[in-house]
Structure 1
Amino acid sequence: MQLKPFNAGRLSDAIPGTMGVLGLAMAPALALGQDTNTGVMALNEVVVEAVAPAPGSPLMQAAQIDVLQGEDKDRRESATLGQTLDHLPGVDTVSAGNQAGKPVIRGLSGNRVRILSDGIAVDHQQFGTRHSPNVEPFLSERIEVVRGVSSILYGSDALGGAVDVQPLPLTFSSDGSRHNRGEALLGHATNNDQNDLGLKGTSQGKHWSFAAGIIHRDAGDVTVPDDRTFFPPPPSDAGKRRAPAYTGSLEYTDFDQTNGQLGVGYRGAFGEVRMRYTGWRNEHNFLLPPPAGNKPPGQGPEGIGQNLENDELRLDATLPVNDTWTLQPTLAWQNNLRQSNAAGVPRDALFDGTLDIEFDQYTTRLEARHGQLAFLDAGRMGIEYRTKQQVSRGTTQLTPGGRVNNVGLFAFEERTLGRLTLQAGLRQDWTETIAKSSKTAAPTSFSGSDSNDYSVTSGSFGGSYALTDNLTLASNIGRGFRAPTLFELHADGVHAGVAAVQKGNDDLDAEKSLNTDLSLRWRSHQTSASATVYRNAIDNYIYLHDTGNTQDALPVFQYQQTDAVLTGVELTARAQMTETLELSTTYSAVDGENDQTGEDLPLQPADELLVEGTWTPGNWGWARSPYVRLGLRHNASREAAPGEPFAQFDNAPFGTASTDAYTVADLALGFSVDGVTGAPMRFSLEVRNLTDKTYRDFLDTYKGYALSPGRDVRMTLRVPLGG
């Protein structure tokens, strides 16, 4: 049996006609290949396999899609999904040190970005600002990102976009022999003394395939640049009032995480069937704001411990019916547990039962895909039923127990007429949300049960036109929706993670959005570029409003609704300047506005410009495929919106919720060496915040009372298993 390393070579070219290849390669989703005639490096295509609604050429999708895979994914990979993706256009991350990272797409996050596991929606109690997806990037084969409304295929919660994390592959051998490949990962990061140890592998045969992986990450406290603190600060000195409350090594920012995956697949004359289990375990601390928001550190509770667990079990199949139709049934179960202590009780004191929220989610999805059918070129249609059953056992309610049921019917079709490709879809959803006091240990603001029903029709229509062989114009208009969550309807309690009391509103209507985008895309042998503008109008936008009241010295926020509009632009360009030098740049800007008040929407990322240069000089003796990448990331200043998480620090006697402009440099380098079995070992070193810059990122949830992380040197060694 031959063992091959994961992703040892360049990213693969598109393979026309392959089942499941759904295509779109844009500037961030490109790989390098060498033209054998000229000796000059060229840009190759990367294809989409999951999130695109129908098969198509790389430039002819109506939606905006990015793909991260292969060595590019390895180089960008971190412990969180948000940080792994935040270099993509229009994608940012809500962070808390190095152990929490929630994706933000076009200014929307949390319940407005749908996280998928190989096409099936997974929840992570995303009502919390710091509640990151329970996803391990190392145990994924590729990650696909849709920017813009994706409700047609995935229903509620996809107003901003969707992120599909595809696990280790369960594919089969075409030559009848068995093929094995595997990889061990060793990593260390200096900023928080983080150590990573991972192992993954697959075995592919004619009829049976297997995949397995496990990774353990443990880390100490995050370090930020040293800065002066002032308690109390001089009232007349605004600069000193903006000084952080904590500096240097931030206590209570450590974590310990273990994630695993196990899968088996079988291929017979009927088709393919696969079963997969994924487990995720995480214990961590969060650093809380200074006591009561105005006392110096050490005079009250500062840390809070949390325990997170997530299990997923999935059974799915690919069943060809004839040359035109293929059925893809899926059954999935997810169990998610969130336990959180009271303020001042870190994780080493075990868990005190303050918050204890658990749910079981069951998903049944039947999808039928077809090729050429009458005047249609390709498409898919299906039905999905999902039920979520939640219990709240903690002494604090925060979110109640209850049940959420959803039924969705959808269809999406494509037609190509010469240079024009048209895509259209339609979906109908019925959602029922029932809060139950019998499933809630703490006293509730309602008795018995409280039910809310929502029925929403959504659709999309778009297309692309090849102006020339290199230039494509694409546009898409989509209607999306989002049903209010149990938390938004019935929240009632102290949310220690944001230092506020949060209250629900059981009169909330479903959010409905109308998203329009227009994109111009260029691609040639050695260059690619795109320019996209978009507008996303959301009716009944749900947001937390500062009531102006306090409870136990904490501000009280309550959910309300308004209409809102988000507009933005995304610009990307990449060019192979010489045989050894590649330059790329990305610019993203979004403006979200509350129609009623004219104020900014919460958690909107600052305008960002990213410029990177990558030098690949060719082999240096024993060092194979060396590269050096230097990046400059500039974020504009940003004012905190009223009522957004941590906005209170703009008026506190220290710290800030609004942030100044900054520029941070990042350096990365790497190379491969021949292993003892002939397969290359790959070493990479990345230095984030190269100059140890003092700054606050607007979406860093520690910004109110601490600086963003200082210099971090991350070293990674990937060792192939076998030759």
Structure 2
Amino acid sequence: MNKTPLLHRQLFLAITTTLAVSSTVWAQVAPQESMNAAPTSDTRHAKKVDRHVKDLDKIVVTASPLRDSAEALSQPVEVLAGERLDEQRAATLGETISSLPGVQSSNFGPGVGRPILRGLDGPRVAVLSNGMVSSDVSTVSQDHAPAVEAFLADQVEILKGPSTLLYGSSAIGGVVNIVDGRIPETPIEGGFSGRAEMRFETVNDGNTDMFRVDGGSDGFAVHADGVYRNNKDYDTPDGKQANTFIDTKTGALGASLLGDWGFVGVSASRFEDDYGNPGEPGNLAEGERGVWIRMRQDRYDLKGGLTSPWGDGSGLRYSLGHTSYEHTEFEGDEVGTLFQKNANEGRVEAAFSWGPDWNGAIGAQASDTTFRAIGEESFVPETKTRAYGLFGIARRSWNVYQLDAGLRVDKVKSNPAEGAARNFTPISLSLAGSWRIDDQWRLTANLDHAERAPAEEELFADGPHLATLAYEIGNSDLTEEKANQLELGVQYKSELMDAKLSAYYNRFDDFVYLVDTGDEWYFDEEDEYLPIRQWTQADAKFFGFEGEATFHLADNDSGLWDLRIYGDSVRGSLRDGGDLPRIAPGRLGAQLRWQANAWRASLGAVRYAQQDRVAENETPTDGYTLVDAHLAYHGDAGSQLAWEVFLDGNNLTGETARVHTSFLKDSVVLPDRNFAFGVRVFF
């Protein structure tokens, strides 16, 4: 029997119990004036401007070269941080941010959850780690997970709509950026801070443990973090969902030199993730283990910045990253397919200011990647891809108006080991404006033209893709995919309510998608026929809306009461007729939140609509309602230590739910009723 998980739990429990007891003693002897202070790592006591839940709009969006707050951007942006992030942290990135309007998650079991933004996913949504591409193979297949850990995030930034202007053609549908502070950029307040968490879950007999420590002086700072997750197969209303285990270990070390001039730092991280593929569960009763994946990634980053090198309002930032990625798919105990990816990326941004009304930025980005697959499922040949991009943005502000404009040009070359290389020149343009009518109302408008170079699997695939149970054929004649999007938005903020609503129309020329040819290929190893699917292009359109409103119901002796309502809907179809496959269904959700003294609680439900607008040969899914609840008690121990115990409940009604965006929706359902309980410590 493996005693490692038990030892992890015992060690972490001993540490947290000691800290909790120490905090109680400290609370009794600490001076009263220090009781109002709290560790800087404590999300409950993060600096706030006022009582609004949407004070997250004040947080700086690091994915913007101008380092704007979310409320200053005309582009639709969401930031998940603080208590709301703590309540939403999950095993996958997609699941962590799926409560935001316009954002859902793909699903290939609990180990895989890539973000879906406004119906777009895969190679159209860029997943970033501190502004640099995650450099995994999650876009190649739906059973491949992103090599990022949402549990370590300080904040998660979501740029919805075309973001190719800033991050290249892989961001034609948007960007999700995890900010985890592995390279410190400012001195650590107080010289030392950190946090730790331990949680247990009932639906999968699982546990997740994490820690983060930052320390240093005004001129030097160091960082260390780690996560250990061990989840067994989860329960469903219909019994165990076989082969849904997760075993994750990840950690990083970072260090920076700091000063009034800026910062420069480095970090090294390791990501290890083992998880099952419930689409091929095997049969343990007959001694047949299912298909499972072992992922390993080593990442090395260098980042730096200069403060005001050309006067007030200017800045220079640069980043370099190298990743070495390996992903092995096992069929039982035998190696089926090995995926490897080595990537180098560099990025530099220079920000300027011209007087009180003009500012902008110029930048360059370059990457060099080599992807190869070896073994049974090597349906994509070894491919080297090089990309270079130049971009510039400018902003003009006057009185209550703001105008943003930008341009980016990329050069992308994909060179397969067998066959001719392809060259692409995606061009992106953006024009955005906002009008602050008064202190309460703000209108925004965005007009974007974005282009995307086809990905390796879309160009060069030729072989059986067992994750989707199909034989996939690429198309080396594909051209750039082009999108033209118009979006209109309105925002409102008062003492009684915060609200935002947006509607968008995205018209694609030469949209790349996978079509069923109607032919079959005989797979002799499994003695079955697989449908043959080919990557092709056609004109398409996406249109939808999303919105949320938070009503501040009361702030009195009974506590602080807020009611949040949100919803979204998207329709994706071919312009010549016919729906696109796996389009996320519409949703409508509500959550009642309460906070008083040391307590906070919430109760919410979200209704997923039936999805019967399906592509040819695609099955519909029924609607379902998920009910969640959160309860937490927070304790302060002066300025040295704080702690929190919590209990979360998910799918409290035990609903049978199938995720329409999943290739496995006909055979895999979401987990049954689950309770997660644990402790967080801030110091």
TM range (shorter): 0.7 to 0.9
Q: In structure 2, what is the Cα distance between the partners aligned to 1:331 and 1:631?
A: 42
Q: Does the Cα contact within 8 Å between 1:544 and 1:557 map onto a contact in 2?
A: yes
Q: Does the Cα contact within 8 Å between 2:571 and 2:583 map onto a contact in 1?
A: yes
**How far did 1:384 drift?**
1.1
Partner of residue 329 from structure 1, selected from 309, 318, 327: 318
Q: How does 1:83-162 map to 2 (within 5 A)?
A: 83-125=95-137, 126-162=139-175
**Residue 587 of structure 2 is aligned to residue 608 of structure 1:** yes
Partner of 1:164: 177
Q: In structure 2, what is the Cα distance between the partners aligned to 1:221 and 1:389?
A: 34
**How far did 1:682 drift?**
0.9
**How far did 1:390 drift?**
2.1
Partner of 1:235: none
The one-letter amino acid paired with 1:322 is W
Q: Does the Cα contact within 8 Å between 2:183 and 2:303 map onto a contact in 1?
A: no
**How far did 1:7 drift?**
2.7
Q: Does the Cα contact within 8 Å between 1:546 and 1:557 map onto a contact in 2?
A: yes
Partner of 1:308: 295
Change (3 A) 1:512 1:302: farther
Q: How does 1:33-44 map to 2 (within 5 A)?
A: none
SS in 2 for 1:287: coil
Partner of 1:595: 575
Unaligned runs of 5+ in 2: 1-36, 524-528
Change (3 A) 1:186 1:300: closer
Change (3 A) 1:493 1:57: closer
Which has the higher mean CA deviation after the structures are superposed, 545-554 or 425-434?
545-554
Partner of 1:245: none
Q: Does the Cα contact within 8 Å between 1:188 and 1:196 map onto a contact in 2?
A: yes
Q: In structure 1, what is the Cα distance between the partners aligned to 2:214 and 2:291?
A: 39
Q: Does the Cα contact within 8 Å between 2:351 and 2:360 map onto a contact in 1?
A: yes
**Residue 275 of structure 2 is aligned to residue 284 of structure 1:** yes
Change (3 A) 1:673 1:270: closer
Change (3 A) 1:177 1:406: closer
**Residue 397 of structure 2 is aligned to residue 416 of structure 1:** yes
The one-letter amino acid paired with 1:583 is L
SS in 2 for 1:278: strand
Q: In structure 2, what is the Cα distance between the partners aligned to 1:271 and 1:53?
A: 16
Q: How does 1:56-455 map to 2 (within 5 A)?
A: 59-125=71-137, 126-168=139-181, 170-171=183-184, 179-226=191-238, 248-268=239-259, 270-288=261-279, 303-320=290-307, 321-324=309-312, 325-341=314-330, 345-346=331-332, 349=333, 351-352=334-335, 354-371=336-353, 373=354, 377-437=358-418, 449-455=419-425
Q: Does the Cα contact within 8 Å between 2:104 and 2:117 map onto a contact in 1?
A: yes
**Which digits, 9 at most, give the CA deviation of each residue in 1:258-290, with x for residues without a partner?**
011211010246531011122211112112268
**Residue 553 of structure 2 is aligned to residue 573 of structure 1:** no
**How far did 1:460 drift?**
0.1
Q: Does the Cα contact within 8 Å between 1:130 and 1:701 map onto a contact in 2?
A: no
**Residue 463 of structure 2 is aligned to residue 493 of structure 1:** yes
Partner of 1:711: 673
Which has the higher mean CA deviation after the structures are superposed, 428-437 or 46-55?
46-55
Q: Does the Cα contact within 8 Å between 2:279 and 2:668 map onto a contact in 1?
A: no
**Residue 491 of structure 2 is aligned to residue 521 of structure 1:** yes
Q: How does 1:599-678 map to 2 (within 5 A)?
A: 599-616=578-595, 618-619=596-597, 624=598, 626-639=599-612, 641-642=614-615, 657-674=619-636
SS in 1 for 2:83: helix
Partner of 2:534: 558
**How far did 1:299 drift?**
9.5
**How far did 1:525 drift?**
2.7
**How far did 1:178 drift?**
5.1
SS in 2 for 1:578: strand
Q: Does the Cα contact within 8 Å between 2:377 and 2:465 map onto a contact in 1?
A: no
Partner of residue 532 from structure 1, selected from 468, 485, 502: 502
Q: Does the Cα contact within 8 Å between 2:186 and 2:263 map onto a contact in 1?
A: no
Q: Does the Cα contact within 8 Å between 1:97 and 1:222 map onto a contact in 2?
A: no
SS in 1 for 2:196: strand
SS in 2 for 1:71: helix
**How far did 1:46 drift?**
2.7
The one-letter amino acid paired with 2:363 is G
Q: In structure 2, what is the Cα distance between the partners aligned to 1:717 and 1:138?
A: 14
Q: In structure 2, what is the Cα distance between the partners aligned to 1:329 and 1:109?
A: 28
Q: In structure 2, what is the Cα distance between the partners aligned to 1:216 and 1:44?
A: 28
Q: Please, what TM-score do these two structures have when normalized by structure 2?
A: 0.88
**How far did 1:153 drift?**
0.6
Change (3 A) 1:327 1:286: same
Q: Does the Cα contact within 8 Å between 2:647 and 2:676 map onto a contact in 1?
A: yes
**How far did 1:606 drift?**
0.4
**How far did 1:322 drift?**
2.7
Partner of residue 645 from structure 2, selected from 683, 687, 693: 683
Which has the higher mean CA deviation after the structures are superposed, 607-616 or 176-185?
176-185
Q: Please, what TM-score do these two structures have when normalized by structure 1?
A: 0.83
**How far did 1:256 drift?**
0.8
Which has the higher mean CA deviation after the structures are superposed, 68-77 or 629-638?
68-77
Q: Does the Cα contact within 8 Å between 1:60 and 1:463 map onto a contact in 2?
A: no
**Residue 427 of structure 2 is aligned to residue 457 of structure 1:** yes
The one-letter amino acid paired with 1:278 is S
**How far did 1:59 drift?**
3.7
The one-letter amino acid paired with 1:166 is V
Q: Does the Cα contact within 8 Å between 1:5 and 1:183 map onto a contact in 2?
A: no
**How far did 1:170 drift?**
4.5
Q: In structure 2, what is the Cα distance between the partners aligned to 1:700 and 1:675?
A: 46
Q: In structure 2, what is the Cα distance between the partners aligned to 1:290 and 1:138?
A: 27
Change (3 A) 1:694 1:196: same
**How far did 1:708 drift?**
2.2
Change (3 A) 1:535 1:680: same
Change (3 A) 1:498 1:124: same
Q: Percent identity?
A: 26
Partner of 2:478: 508
The one-letter amino acid paired with 1:195 is N
Partner of 1:477: 447
Change (3 A) 1:53 1:528: farther
The one-letter amino acid paired with 2:297 is N
**Which digits, 9 at most, give the CA deviation of each residue in 1:283-328, with x for residues without a partner?**
121122689xxxx998997821211112221111112423143221
**Which digits, 9 at most, give the CA deviation of each residue in 1:522-544, with x for residues without a partner?**
01234210110001111111111
**How far did 1:169 drift?**
5.6
Q: Does the Cα contact within 8 Å between 1:314 and 1:330 map onto a contact in 2?
A: yes
**Residue 565 of structure 2 is aligned to residue 585 of structure 1:** yes
**How far did 1:418 drift?**
1.0
Q: Does the Cα contact within 8 Å between 2:514 and 2:536 map onto a contact in 1?
A: yes
Q: Does the Cα contact within 8 Å between 1:170 and 1:202 map onto a contact in 2?
A: no
Counting matched residue pairs gives 634
Change (3 A) 1:45 1:694: closer
Partner of 2:5: none
Q: In structure 2, what is the Cα distance between the partners aligned to 1:705 and 1:502?
A: 22
Q: In structure 2, what is the Cα distance between the partners aligned to 1:600 and 1:515?
A: 19
